[in-house]
Amino acid sequence: MSILVVGSVALDSIETPFGKRKEILGGSATFFSISAAFFDKVDIIATVGEDFPKEYLRLLKKRGIGTGGIAVNKGKTFRWEGRYEYDMNVAHTLATRLNVFQDFAPEVPHNLRDSSILFLANIDPDLQDSVLKQVNKPKLIACDSMNHWITSKKRSLEKFLHKVDIFLLNDAEARQFSGESNLMKAAKAIISKGPKSVVIKKGEHGVIYYSGNGHFVVPAYPLENVYDPTGAGDTFAGGVIGYLSRTGKIDDATIRKSMVYGSIMASFAVEDFSVNRLLGIKLSDINKRYSDFKRLTRF
C-alpha cells in the first residue's frame, strides 16, 4: 500500500543530560516518514521556510520518501527548542517558533489523493479533517494529537475522531482528554468518543492498545543508552503504520505485531539525537531486535 503523512518538518535545538544539539532535523512528519520508509512507500505533506537546509530534503529523498508535497515558503522554518532532565519522559519546552508552519494549509496533490493509508500528525484537528476530505477513501486513517489541541480544540477533535481508525496519544494527553487518571478507564472513555481503536504511548513503559475487540499491552524495548527521546512517539507511529501498510492487513494479529515494530523503531530513535540512529540501521537490525523482543517477552 502507500502512506501519506501530513505534519511538521522542523529544526530542533535539544538539550539532554548527554549533550546539546542546535538546528537539527526534526518534526513529526520527519520522524514518522523515516521510520515508515523501512517498510513501505511514504509521501510527506508539510511546509518549510527558505532557510531549510537543502541537504535535509536530499536526505529524505535518498530514503525513498516522496517530498513533492513539502512546500518551501517565504519565511523561516518551524523551530522547537527543548530540554530533558534525567526523566526522559518529560520534555521541557524552552521555545516554539511556528514561523511558516503558523499558516500551514495542507493541500493534497492530485497524484497523492489515492493513498491507501493516511497518517495525520499532531496538527489542528480542523486541518486534519480538511486533509481527510481531500483523500479518496483511504483504507486506514490514523491520527495523533497533543495537549494544545485537546485544550483549545477539544470539540473539533471529538468530532473528527468519529472518522478515525487509530488514534495515538501519550499517557498525559490520554488523561487530559478523558478526564480519567487510570489509563484503562481513559482508553475506554476515548473509544466512546468515536475512534475504532486507541494507542496510548507511555514512553519507556511501552504502549496500551485498546479497541472494541479487546486490548493488549506492549512493553518498550529495553535499552541501556537513551540520548534523546524527541520524535520517539512519531517514530513509533511510523513503525506501526509502515508495518500495517507492508502487510496489507489490519486484523488483530497484524496490529499486535505492528505495535512491536513500532516499539523497536522508537528504541533506535532514542539512541542518538535527531534521526541519526535511524539513518544508521538496516532492516536486518530491525529484524534482530524483533527476534530479541520475542525472546524477552516469551513465557
DSSP of 57-120: HHHHHHTT-EEEEEEEESSPPPEEEEEE-S-TT-EEEEEEE-GGGGG------GGGTT-SEEEE
Fold of 2-297: UDP-N-acetylmuramoyl-L-alanine:D-glutamate ligase (3.40.1190)
Residue 187 to residue 200: CA distance in whole angstroms: 8
Residue 234 to residue 225: CA distance in whole angstroms: 19
Q: What integer best gives the mean pLDDT of the chain?
A: 94
Across 107-115, average pLDDT = 95
Element containing residue 24 per DSSP (H, E)? strand 19-26
Q: Which three cell numbers stand for residue 211?
A: 479497541
Q: Which of 124, 162, 163 is nearest to 141 (CA)?
A: 163
Q: Which three cell numbers stand for residue 178?
A: 478523558
Given a cut of 80, whether residue 89 has pLDDT beyond it is no
Domain ranges of the chain: 2-297
Q: Which of 272, 265, 289 is nearest to 37 (CA)?
A: 265
Lowest mean pLDDT among 36-45, 247-256, 258-267: 247-256
Q: Give 153-185 pLDDT, tens digit per residue.
A: 999 999 999 999 999 999 999 999 999 999 999
Cβ within 8 Å of residue 90, ≥6 positions away: 84
Given a cut of 80, whether residue 233 has pLDDT beyond it is yes
Q: Would you place residue 146 in the very low, low, confident or very high pLDDT band (cuts 50, 70, 90)?
A: confident
